Chain A
């Protein structure tokens, strides 16, 4: 009974913390929505109608590029929150207040990861809708494996939520935040298969291809493309799902270890 009451208490606190975050986000929601829509529309128009014409990349390119954009859309939200977290760790340390609440510290960080995940999913959803409007017939919804897409979408964005917090623990206090994008996130994003498939990389260089399998974003890219374009030419979607779950659990564990060291809290 005591355990049930305690768990109910933790759940109520978690809900309240999420509601607080939702209230803060609601104030910037329309701004974010417009920004996401403009970014994806400009990106898709330039890539699909202009870049592909410039270099005669073929009729498959728009869908290929768009699937990559959807897969990576959560990464920008993860980066934004990571940037904010690092600033907080070294500045005001507002997170210390949340760590004084009568709930396990784990719950506080799960809330942060959950909120990043929701933001990432919203960004990807907006990208999907805007992409359909811009691409229209070039993005046939009927041929998408929606179950596979939903699975990758969910687990991929969950991974992004954890990744954002994990990255904040890996950034040393000496590293300038301005270096975060160019030196860590950008190469991680570009070498995940943003502009090529894993099998193409395997043909070019097998050692590099196997090394790239250590990049979790590769599975998000390949899985999203397999669901949206078709399984042929991409890594198996169930393999991608399994690996993503593995990396998500690994990242979660390592994040908690890193946070304990960085913030020196009691669990």
Chain B
């Protein structure tokens, strides 16, 4: 009986994920085009124009591309947070889902999983584009694909949990305007989007150690270690371990806050 109950909850959970994903497919083309333009323009300009301007050695392009791949999910965070906060203060569509015969934590977990899947879908679409722009500089056979897939999935799951957590921290839609400039942008830029943790450690060691508290650091370092190679980056297994810890923490904390905020059973 308990097994049947658990099995039907799981089925309902995946139905909800499927429902959300079908809605996302309508937006997928637009999102991929937007992200694709961002990646192509950034990488092309950085490698072929800035690289020539400052006579930079090779490897510059792949470094930039891996930063873009790692960041893809984070760019989805802001509109998702906006949608959540708007829903909390407006229609409260989420209340309908809380009436379903499913534990409330599964409803919130479904949101995280959906955000992770969206980030992964867009991120995977970017990889072939990166190959087209960089060609010889991006050798697909050099990528540790199993480890890359692991880090990539974990990174997007973390971003899903992180997005939900941020949505619970924003008390009103008026405060949302400050979120990008004061929180997401510094988290993104200081995590190593344009430099490795090793470089940060050489220049400002205290800041480097404080950035170990920034989960995005492990996303960046992990992706780079699997695509470019372990040398010069944080150990991949440390990155994976820390990402799991951060994901669990943000998932737990956001679910408990949501249960209080929405008065869910």
A residues neighboring B (CB under 8 Å): 28, 31, 34-36, 38-39, 42-43, 46-47, 49-51, 53-58, 61, 176, 178-179, 181-183, 186-187, 190-191, 194-197, 200-201, 204
Q: Is the CB of B38 within 8 A of A186?
A: yes
Given contacts A34-B182, A178-B30, contact A57 B41 (CB under 8 A): no
| Docked-complex contact A38 and B185, CB < 8 angstroms | yes
Secondary structure call for the B interface: helix
Q: Is B196 an interface residue (CB 8 A)?
A: yes
In the assembled complex, B199 has its CB within 8 A of some CB on chain A: yes
**Would you call B34 an interface residue if the criterion is a C-beta within 8 Å of the partner chain's C-beta atoms?**
yes
Decide: B33 and A53 in contact? CB cutoff 8 A.
no
> Mask for B27-39, Cβ within 8 A of A = 1, else 0?
0001001110110
Stretch at the interface among B44-52, B120-128, B239-247, B257-265: B44-52
User: Could you say which of B38, B45, B53, B203 contacts A49, with CB atoms under 8 Å apart?
Assistant: B203
**A252–B180 Cα gap in the complex (Å)?**
31
Shortest CB-to-CB span from B78 to chain A, Å, is 11
A-B contact count (CB 8 A): 100
Q: Which residues of B contact A204 (CB under 8 A)?
A: 48-49, 52
Q: How far is the CB of B182 from chain A (nearest CB, A)?
A: 6
7 contacts between A and B (CB under 8 A): A35-B182, A38-B181, A53-B199, A53-B203, A186-B37, A197-B53, A204-B49
**CB <8 Å contact, A196 and B177:** no
Query: Does B202 reach chain A (CB closer than 8 Å)?
Result: yes
- Using Cβ atoms and an 8 Å threshold, which residues of chain A touch B34? 178-179, 181-183
Closest chain B CB from A200 CB (angstroms)? 5
> Is A50 within 8 A of B195, CB to CB?
yes
Q: Is the CB of B30 within 8 A of A179?
A: yes
Q: Is the CB of B182 within 8 A of A38?
A: yes
Q: Are A191 and B45 in contact (CB under 8 A)?
A: yes
In the assembled complex, B228 has its CB within 8 A of some CB on chain A = no
Which A residue's beta carbon lies closest to that of B44?
Answer: A190
Residue ID in chain B nearest A49 by CB atoms = B203
- A204–B47 Cα gap in the complex (Å)? 13
Contact at A195–B50, with CB atoms within 8 Å?
yes
Q: Mark B61-74, 1 if CB is under 8 A from A, else 0.
A: 00100000000000
Contact of A200 among B41, B53, B56, B181 (CB under 8 A): B53
Q: Smallest Cβ distance from A81 to chain B, in angstroms? A: 14
Indicate which residue in A55, A178, A187, A201 contacts B56 across the interface (CB closer than 8 Å). A55
Q: Provided the pairs A49-B203, A187-B37 are in contact, do residues A194 and B45 lie with their beta carbons within 8 angstroms?
A: yes
CB neighbours (8 Å) of A194 from chain B are 45
Residues of A within 8 A of B56 (CB): 55-57
Instruction: Name the contact of B194 in the complex, choosing from A35, A47, A186, A191 (C-beta under 8 A).
Output: A47
Shortest distance between the CB of A52 and any CB in chain B (Å): 9
Q: In the complex, what residues of A have CB within 8 A of residue B53's CB?
A: 195-197, 200
Chain B residues with Cβ under 8 A from A176's Cβ?
30
Taken together as a complex, chains A and B put the C-alpha atoms of A178 and B75 apart, in Å, by 12
A42, A187, A191: most-surrounded residue (chain B CB, <10 A):
A42
Within the complex, which residue of B30, B177, B181, B200 is in contact with A39, where a contact is CB–CB below 8 Å?
Answer: B181
In the bound complex, CA of A103 to CA of B1 (Å): 76
> Does B193 interact with chain A (Cβ within 8 Å)?
yes
Cβ-based interface call for B57 (8 A) = yes
Q: What is the distance, in angstroms, from A75's C-beta to the closest C-beta of chain B?
A: 15
4 closest cross-chain pairs (CB), A and B: A35-B181, A195-B50, A182-B34, A50-B195
Checking B37, B60, B181, B200 against A182 with a beta-carbon cut-off of 8 angstroms, the contacting residue is: B37
Q: Which among A38, A46, A55 has the highest number of chain B CB atoms within 10 Å?
A: A55
Complex CA–CA separation, A149 to B249 (angstroms): 50
Residues of A within 8 A of B199 (CB): 50, 53-54
**A42 CA / B183 CA spacing, docked (Å):** 11
Q: How far is the CB of A178 from chain B (nearest CB, A)?
A: 7
User: Among B41, B63, B178, which residue has its beta carbon within 8 angstroms of that of A191?
Assistant: B41
Chain B 125-143 interface mask (CB, 8 Å, partner A; 1/0): 0000000000000000000
Please state if A51 and B38 are interface contacts (CB–CB under 8 Å): no
The distance in angstroms between the C-alpha atoms of A35 and B182, with both chains bound, is 6
Closest to A35 in B: B181
Query: In the bound complex, how far is the Cα of B34 from the Cα of A178, in angstroms?
Result: 9
> How many angstroms from the CA of A176 to the CA of B196 in the assembled complex?
36
Across-interface contacts of A197 in B (CB, < 8 A): 53
